[in-house]
Structure 1
Amino acid sequence: MLRKILSKIKLSPERRRLYFLLHTILGYYPNNLSLYELALVHKSALLKDCDGKVMNNERLEFLGDAILGAIVAQELYNKYPDVNEGFLTKTRSKIVNRAFLNKTALQLGLKDIISSQSKIALNKTNIPGDALEALIGAIFVDKGYDKCAKFVLSKILHPFVNLNEITKHDNNFKSMLIEWGQKYKREINFETEEVSSTSDHAPIFVSNVEIETIVYGRGEGNSKKESQQNAAMEALQNISIKENNPNYKA
């Protein structure tokens, strides 16, 4: 270990600083420092390598997003052995969301080591959360799944997430669906109509959720809000099924 650290002393002052900062954040020294440097480069930085190839963290972000979802899913699966898939999916969505990732990235101190050319404060963008997902991807590539899971659980999930508190609250399915659409750049529209009641009771509202003109969910309720929440819940369920079965049609 000492030999490895001494070898890093030969780094430039800037890279040496990053090397030791990463140790503070991660709890270990990176093997491949370049991999972590790439994880912290947002596409707005417009960086290129010596061959003119664009360098950014989008590929690592893609990988990190999948690995983070798997680690959280495994933790929920083990912690709640008697609940159904719907509960697990909804709870995971409450944890792995853009607002939480942005906040956690800032709390971990990533703001000071992210490379970008954003003209607005990083804490008002999704850049920190993107970098955190990319960092998770870098850990997976550099150290493997077990080390990556240890980082997610010890540095993200356990310090910043109260699972018992989260599971007490009702899900806002509409907000979750809109957030999903923003993340994956998908257009989402809600269409709601009031249906005449056949009795003296309050009218019924019916809502459809369209994702890029395709209906993914339908819901009914005694209010516009309730019908849209039910439609959004069904849409999220169909999205989950489709992600695991590309041939599925909503």
Structure 2
Amino acid sequence: MKNIRNILNSRFKRNGNFFMQLHKILGFKPKNLKYFKKAFTHRSMNIKDSKGNAVNYERLEFLGDAMLSAVIASHLYLEVPSGDEGYLTKMRSKVVSREHLNELGKELKLIDLVESKIPPGQFGDNIHGNLFEALVGAIFLDRGYKHCEKFIYNRIITPHVDIERLEGKVISYKSLLIEWCQKEKKTFNYNVYDDTGIDEVKHFSVKLSIDDKVVAKARATSKKKAEEKASKRAFFVFQNKISKML
């Protein structure tokens, strides 16, 4: 009997701490903790419900992403009546970019709430944005659209959405550089190769050539990151010319 009481007290304490942390992040009291527990459960826990469905935050990511897009799209539609579809789509992408969502997740220290069998240090940066999306999905299920909209305004739109600043923000230097090269009829090539350095983690290096001339080099833990880093360096080489497209 004593062991059962200890287990229940321990569970109550954990749930109480979780509730208090959530309340601080959300700005309101959650009604049903089960949605938020799922929002912070990593797939490595390998938990399934009574029907055999996986219990983790991945499906909530999908829902949260849709809610973010809807609320941000509505705000931009009302805020920029002169913006056409292409402009509004580009601006929304800047607000909900993976980089920005990762920053928001880090700011709220969402990683501290995760239940996982993987050490926190082994997660990639994207888990921060994934958790933010899952949290938004959980808010929608727990309290409905209005609370979800209010949270997005409080955490994203009010502090971060400045139309003039966003217009000049670059989401992907690689995409921007390719667009500029195509517009100016310049040839470009990303020569990516394995880096045989002494690092424990495998690295890739890239040489970016424009019109057969190497304009930037970079090194990173993935081909995508190396190409983006090289593109950013090339952007600053041609900044005055490329900036005219922004």
Provide the TM-score with structure 1 as the length reference.
0.62
State yes or no: 1:222 paired with 2:197.
no
Question: Structure 1 CA distance, aligned partners of 2:59 and 2:94?
Answer: 24
The offset of 1:117, in angstroms, is 3.2
C-alpha RMSD of the superposition: 2.7
Task: Say if 1:39 and 1:56, in contact at 8 Å, map to a contact too.
Answer: yes
Task: Say if 2:97 and 2:171, in contact at 8 Å, map to a contact too.
Answer: no
Question: 1:98 and 1:19, CA in 2 relative to 1: closer, same or farther beyond 3 A?
Answer: same
Deviations 1:162-191 (A, max 9, x none): 332111346647548xxxxxxxxxxxxxxx
Correspondence for 2:89? 89
Deviations 1:121-149 (A, max 9, x none): 26733112111111111111111111101
The offset of 1:58, in angstroms, is 1.4
> Aligned partner of 1:112: which letter?
D
Question: 1:46 and 1:175, CA in 2 relative to 1: closer, same or farther beyond 3 A?
Answer: farther
> Aligned partner of 1:36: which letter?
F
Question: Structure 2 CA distance, aligned partners of 1:100 and 1:31?
Answer: 28
Matches within 5 A, 1:83-162: 83-119=83-119, 121=121, 124-162=124-162
Report the identity percentage.
Answer: 38
Task: Say if 2:39 and 2:60, in contact at 8 Å, map to a contact too.
Answer: yes
Correspondence for 1:12? 12
Correspondence for 1:31? 31
Task: Say if 1:42 and 1:131, in contact at 8 Å, map to a contact too.
Answer: no
Task: Name stretches of at least 5 consecutive residues in structure 1 with no aligned partner.
Answer: 1-8, 177-218, 226-250
Question: 1:126 and 1:117, CA in 2 relative to 1: closer, same or farther beyond 3 A?
Answer: farther
> Aligned partner of 2:54: which letter?
V
Task: Say if 1:44 and 1:116, in contact at 8 Å, map to a contact too.
Answer: yes
Task: Name stretches of at least 5 consecutive residues in structure 2 with no aligned partner.
Answer: 1-8, 177-181, 189-246
Question: Structure 2 CA distance, aligned partners of 1:144 and 1:22?
Answer: 17
The offset of 1:109, in angstroms, is 2.0
> Aligned partner of 1:78: which letter?
L
Question: Structure 2 CA distance, aligned partners of 1:125 and 1:172?
Answer: 16
State yes or no: 1:56 paired with 2:56.
yes
Correspondence for 2:163? 163
> Aligned partner of 1:16: which letter?
G
Question: Structure 1 CA distance, aligned partners of 2:137 and 2:100?
Answer: 17
Task: Say if 1:39 and 1:138, in contact at 8 Å, map to a contact too.
Answer: yes
Question: 1:44 and 1:99, CA in 2 relative to 1: closer, same or farther beyond 3 A?
Answer: farther
The offset of 1:33, in angstroms, is 0.7
